Structure 1
Amino acid sequence: MQADPVLIRTTHDGRRIEVIGARICLDGQPEADELVVIDEHPNRQAILKVVPLATHVAGRLPLTLAEASVAQAALRRATDRFDGSAQAARERLRQVVWRKSVTDGVE
Structure 2
Amino acid sequence: MGRGRCSSGRNVEVINGWVCLPGVGEADHLVPLLEHPNRQMIAKVLPGGRACGRRLPLTHEEFAIAQGAMSAARRQFDASPAGIAPRLPRAVWAKIAAEDVE
**Structure 2 length-normalised TM:** 0.82
Alignment of 1:30 onto 2:25: yes
Q: 1:55 aligns with which of 50, 53, 56?
A: 50
How many angstroms does 1:20 deviate by? Answer: 1.7
Structure 2 residue runs without a partner (length 5+): none
Q: Which moved more, 1:54-63 or 1:18-27?
A: 18-27
Alignment of 1:19 onto 2:14: yes
Distance of aligned partners of 1:100 and 1:39 in 2 relative to their CA distance in 1, 3 Å threshold = farther
Distance of aligned partners of 1:102 and 1:7 in 2 relative to their CA distance in 1, 3 Å threshold = same
Does the 8 A contact of 1:8 with 1:70 survive in 2? Answer: no
The equivalent of 1:44 in structure 2 is: 39
How many angstroms does 1:96 deviate by? Answer: 2.2
Does the 8 A contact of 1:9 with 1:67 survive in 2? Answer: no
Please report the RMSD computed on the Cα atoms of aligned residues, expressed in angstroms. 2.1
Report the Cα distance in structure 2 between the residues aligned to 1:83 and 1:27, rounded to whole angstroms. Answer: 25
**Structure 1 length-normalised TM:** 0.79
Structure 1 residue runs without a partner (length 5+): none
Report the Cα distance in structure 1 between the residues aligned to 2:81 and 2:42, rounded to whole angstroms. Answer: 41
Residue identity (%): 43
Report the Cα distance in structure 1 between the residues aligned to 2:47 and 2:4, rounded to whole angstroms. Answer: 18
Distance of aligned partners of 1:50 and 1:21 in 2 relative to their CA distance in 1, 3 Å threshold = same
